Structure 1
Amino acid sequence: MLLEDTYKTIKSPAEGLFKDRGSKFFSFAYPIVHESEVKALADNLRKVHFKAVHHCYAYRLGLDKSNFRVNDDGEPSGTAGKPILNTLLSYEITNVLVIVVRYFGGTLLGVPGLINAYKSATVEAITLADILEKTVNNVYSIVFEFVQMNDVMRVVKEYNLKIRNQTYDNQCLIELEFRKSLTNQVVNKLEKIDNIVVEYLFTV
């Protein structure tokens, strides 16, 4: 079960292979953080596997189960991209792209055969991948006077906050990263410090 601020993904790219009646299904799993990465990865595989008849894929991003895309690349609708996506969902992993490259072996597999092949190929890659749990983190900028440094660092230490960037002068700026679930506690503590500006930047 995915908690509000934790998710499972893969640590690094992994490859698998599934064969059925002469057809070969090479699977490639990639960790991604944005849909803009998909095209380059897919284009690269098309260059390497230019003799393959299909390059089907699915990806899932974020904790929202509606943030996904599937592509059957000429296979009958629902026989390739959807089985790949369903496998990602069953493993409860996200921020993952899986591309399955098919070399046709001369025998038609039919709809059930294709669904099984694309699912099995995806499973082959995922089982060879290192699955790890990560936290969803928020990044905030904190602007304050140098005299408040001790107060700010006390909060940083109390919650073991990660400092991403820092500029110390008469006016100081720190970028802090911390678990999403800690947001209310951390922000409330910081905002109690005099002459401090706390601003949300983005989520990673």
Structure 2
Amino acid sequence: MDSTDSRATAYSTVNRDSVHEVEIKRSRFITYLFRVATEAQARDHIAALRKTHFDARHHCSAFILGPDRMIQRSNDDGEPSGTAGIPMLEALAKRDTGQGTELSDVLAVCVRYFGGIKLGAGGLVRAYSDSVSQALDHSILLRRQRLRILALPAPHALAARWENELRAAGYQLEPSRWEAEHAVLQVGIDDTAIHAEQLAGFTAAMTSGAGRLSPVDTRWVDLS
């Protein structure tokens, strides 16, 4: 992904698909969370759950996609307008991830089995919002970071030492390439100008000015 594709350099998403159920006034609210990258993936999950829970009254959904969260959709699926999909979407959008990032690339589907007691508009809003929030409470989130990968040619005799110094300084190293004339170290940094400047300064000091960094590409990676 090119660094100009998105302003965001990090976001959070769910580590794995999960399901959590709550009962409110005899109605069952079964909330599924999925990690998704496209609208097509989200709609495939929704369609699959309609088949799995074919006897449920409602299959409400909300999803947010993209590092900048440009795609946001919700569906009340027969509940009174604004009482299901939007509260679910807000629960996703306002989630405190604890990682200094916003939540994205996530789909929530709340399957409701009606228990015979009407909740009213306010009750439905709370039920759908709380169902998603509780599902997120029981899920594991991971941080996704956009890394800028730069290449640093190194003499064979110095490559291992330079790798160790870069790791000790906290830089992420991709697999090195060993070529006939030299090794090529690949260093990953946050895709920002300030981190690029910091790496350039560190490299200059480590190599006594001999090291020459060159861009390779940018990519999104999952951080544990």
TM-score band w.r.t. shorter chain: 0.7 to 0.9
- The alpha carbon displacement at 1:169 in A equals 0.8
- The alpha carbon displacement at 1:114 in A equals 1.8
The farther-off stretch of 48-57 and 14-23 is 14-23
Q: Is the contact made by 1:190 and 1:198 (CA closer than 8 Å) also made in structure 2?
A: no
Counterpart in the other structure of 1:138: 147
Counterpart in the other structure of 1:197: 214
Distance 1:200 1:69 in 2: 31
TM-score normalised per structure 2: 0.68
- The alpha carbon displacement at 1:98 in A equals 1.6
Q: 2:197 aligns with which of 177, 184, 188?
A: 184
Matches within 5 A, 1:77-92: 77-92=81-96
- The alpha carbon displacement at 1:20 in A equals 3.5
Matches within 5 A, 1:88-127: 88-93=92-97, 94-95=103-104, 96-127=106-137
What are the Cα deviations for residues 76-128 of structure 1, in whole angstroms up to 9, with x where unaligned? 33211211122224432313322111223345433222212211211231222
Q: 1:34 aligns with which of 32, 37, 48?
A: 37
What are the Cα deviations for residues 128-148 of structure 1, in whole angstroms up to 9, with x where unaligned? 22356x363414141636567
* Counterparts in 2 of 1:78 and 1:176: CA distance versus 1, 3 Å: farther
Q: Which amino acid aligns with 1:177?
A: G
* Counterparts in 2 of 1:58 and 1:183: CA distance versus 1, 3 Å: farther
The farther-off stretch of 169-178 and 88-97 is 169-178
Q: Which amino acid aligns with 1:42?
A: I
Taking only aligned residues, the RMSD between alpha carbons, in angstroms, comes to: 3.5
User: How many residues end up aligned between the 2 structures?
Assistant: 199
Q: Which amino acid aligns with 2:119?
A: L
Q: Which amino acid aligns with 1:129?
A: S
Q: Which amino acid aligns with 2:220?
A: T
Secondary structure class of the residue paired with 1:78 = coil
The farther-off stretch of 166-175 and 94-103 is 166-175
TM-score normalised per structure 1: 0.73
Q: Is the contact made by 1:139 and 1:203 (CA closer than 8 Å) also made in structure 2?
A: no
The farther-off stretch of 185-194 and 55-64 is 185-194
Counterpart in the other structure of 1:168: 178
Identify unmatched segments of 5+ residues in structure 2. Answer: 1-7, 98-102
- The alpha carbon displacement at 1:6 in A equals 6.3
Identity rate, percent: 26
